[in-house]
């Protein structure tokens, strides 16, 4: 009985560790560019051998692209699209016949905003992303964020 209980505990622990695996960490900040204009930076840092997908994927991709959703705020407007800053890698898998645009180590996503007046507010939203290594992909994950705009 003790052996069965011990085995069950080991199996449960293995699943628990896999469920808690989080190879991507995020940081969020805002930098004032000029009067009423800010760059909101959303930085993803990946553990060794893990990668994160670009917002734009090739037609043959099966990867889930990184996607941002921003909460509406009447105090500012978005200025242009989100820019990606990092070394994009184009992965081609000859076995599956698919490709993907991805980043390793780090990537910075930048959204420029323009305030409608000189006010303090916040930039809120979430990012949905998928991360993979050479052997497995984790299910998509969503991270909520809030950045003070001063």
Per residue in 7-39, pLDDT tens?
333 333 334 444 568 999 999 999 999 999 999
In a domain, 14, yes or no: no
Query: What's the confidence (pLDDT) of residue 22?
Result: 92
Number of domains in the chain: 1
Instruction: Report the pLDDT value the prediction gives residue 93, as an integer from 0 to 100.
Output: 87
CB 55 within 8 A of CB 100: no
Determine, yes or no, domain membership for 94.
yes
Residue 134: CATH number of its domain? 2.60.40.1250
Element (H, E) at 14: helix 2-19
Could you tell me the sign of the dihedral formed by the alpha carbons of 135, 67, 146, 143, in that order?
negative
Would you say residue 124 lies in a domain? yes
Residue with tokens 């930076």: 41
Sheet with 67-70, strands from edge to edge, namely 67-70, 121-129, 141-149
Q: Tell me if 35 is assigned to some domain.
A: yes
CA distances from 80 to 111, 113, 145 (A): 8, 8, 20
Separation CA 72–CA 28 (nearest Å): 18
In this predicted structure, the answer to whether residue 133 has a pLDDT above a threshold of 80 is: yes
- pLDDT, tens digit (0-9, with 9 covering 90-100), for 74-131: 999 999 999 999 999 999 988 888 999 999 999 999 999 999 999 999 999 999 999 9
- Segment holding 85, helix H or strand E: strand 76-85
pLDDT the model gives residue 7: 34
64 assigned to some structural domain = yes
CB-neighbour burial class of residue 90 (10 A; exposed 0-12, middle 13-18, buried 19+): exposed
Q: Which domain holds residue 135?
A: 24-149
What are residue 63's DSSP bridge partners?
none
Determine, yes or no, domain membership for 41.
yes
135 is a domain residue: yes
Residue 115 within a domain: yes
Model confidence at 134, pLDDT cuts 50, 70, 90, reads confident
């Amino acid at each position: 009985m003790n052996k069965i209980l011990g085995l069950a505990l080991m199996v449960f622990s293995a699943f628990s560790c896999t469920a808690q695996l989080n190879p991507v960490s995020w940081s969020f900040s805002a930098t004032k560019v000029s009067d009423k204009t800010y760059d909101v930076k959303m930085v993803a840092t990946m553990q060794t051998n893990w990668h994160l997908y670009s917002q734009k994927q090739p037609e043959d991709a099966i990867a889930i692209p990184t996607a941002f959703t921003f909460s509406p705020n009447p105090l500012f407007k978005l200025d242009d699209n989100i820019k990606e800053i990092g070394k994009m890698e184009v992965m081609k898998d000859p076995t599956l016949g698919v490709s993907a645009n991805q980043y390793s180590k780090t990537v910075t996503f930048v959204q420029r905003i323009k305030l409608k007046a000189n006010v303090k507010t916040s930039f809120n939203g979430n990012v949905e992303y998928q991360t993979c290594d050479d052997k497995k992909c984790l299910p998509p994950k969503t991270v909520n964020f809030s950045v003070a705009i001063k």
